[in-house]
Amino acid sequence: MNVDTLLRQYFPQARNACIELFDDRNIQQVYRRLVEVLIHQPEVETSLLQAMSYCFYEVMDNVLIHSGKTVGIVITNYSEEQHLIQILVADDGMGIRESLAMNGDYSTITESQALEYCIKDKVSDGKGMGFGLYTTSRLINTAGHKLIIRSGGHTLSANGDVSVVESEPWTGTIVYFELRANLDIDPASVVDHRTDPAAEFDELFLEDNTGLDKLW
């Protein structure tokens, strides 16, 4: 993966973006380290972080579960001036269409359709619940500027309205989203009240700082 290309295309104004490689051995440490950077920003709302942290881990975990690759890359940036959180997770794996096609229900879908389906509830290749990108899209609708999912030769853009267009090819998948960091939101509504992201976040980051194994 070309990190310089990702920085140029998605973080053109970032001065201190955090760049990390992750795999199944260090995903929890990388995730925690990047979230803790945001916790120490006084203008970032805790309720926003409670919802964001749930979606963030899900998107990172998707790489290890669905891409067919053992390593992904994550880039984050916080702009204090714009009250903006930027997050990108990328891999050079099989891509969303090929992954979903492993589920017989989606074996004949096109690449464009695969991108449209991947943010819907319970759409999965059979290896997961199909909840991560669905909740991320709900987070964007609540507190986001944009969600971009790029895979193969197509790119999905979503913030209320959803569009899929042809784009420069990318081998694998890129998930990029921007959040308004100073919004106070209801984290439970983002996850459709199916879990308690506020309690999970508080236990991990604000209370006894025990490990992620208790949460996922």
Residue 159's pLDDT band, with cuts at 50, 70 and 90, is confident
Residue 50's pLDDT band, with cuts at 50, 70 and 90, is very high
Give the DSSP H or E segment for 119. none
Average pLDDT over residues 126-131: 91
User: What pLDDT does 160 receive?
Assistant: 80
Given the DSSP bridges, would you call strands 84-91 and 144-159 parallel, antiparallel or unpaired? unpaired
CATH number at 33-210: 3.30.565.10
In DSSP terms, 91 is beta-bridged to 173
Q: What is the pTM of this model?
A: 0.94
Which alpha helices (H) appear in 88-157, and where do they start and end? 96-100, 111-117, 132-143
Residue 208's pLDDT band, with cuts at 50, 70 and 90, is low
Are the beta carbons of 96 and 63 closer than 8 angstroms?
no
What does the alpha-carbon distance between residue 202 and residue 209 come to, in Å, rounded to a whole number?
Answer: 9
Residue 64 burial (CB count, 10 A) = 18
- Could you give the percent of the chain with pLDDT greater than 70? 96
What does the alpha-carbon distance between residue 23 and residue 204 come to, in Å, rounded to a whole number?
Answer: 20
What does the alpha-carbon distance between residue 87 and residue 209 come to, in Å, rounded to a whole number?
Answer: 23
